[in-house]
Amino acid sequence: MLYSATLGATIIYTTEEGPAPRLKIYQGPLTLEKGKMTIRAKAVRIGFKNSEELVSTFVVE
């Protein structure tokens, strides 16, 4: 589960690599398929500084 301590913040994430990945809005648990997956996420809210990017890699066998 991803969450932010900033009330009203939206979490955006991607599973794509590269300089211009498509971002998605986090709305609930993600399904991890077999293999290796890296998730990059951060919290954003207008009028606030964006959070640091969180990067986690998962391996499902």
**What is the arithmetic mean of pLDDT over 18-28?**
93
Residue 18 has pLDDT above 90, yes or no: no
Q: What is the pLDDT, as a whole number, of residue 54?
A: 95
Q: What is the pLDDT, as a whole number, of residue 57?
A: 96
Please report, for the chain, the start and end positions of each structural domain, with discontinuous segments joined by +.
1-46
- Give the 3-state DSSP-derived string for the chain, with helices as H, strands as E and coil as C: CCCCCCCCCEEEEECCCCCCCCCEECCCCCCCCCEEEEEEEEEECCCCCCCCCEEEEEEEC
Residue 17 has pLDDT above 90, yes or no: no
Residue 37 has pLDDT above 90, yes or no: yes
Q: What is the pLDDT, as a whole number, of residue 19?
A: 85
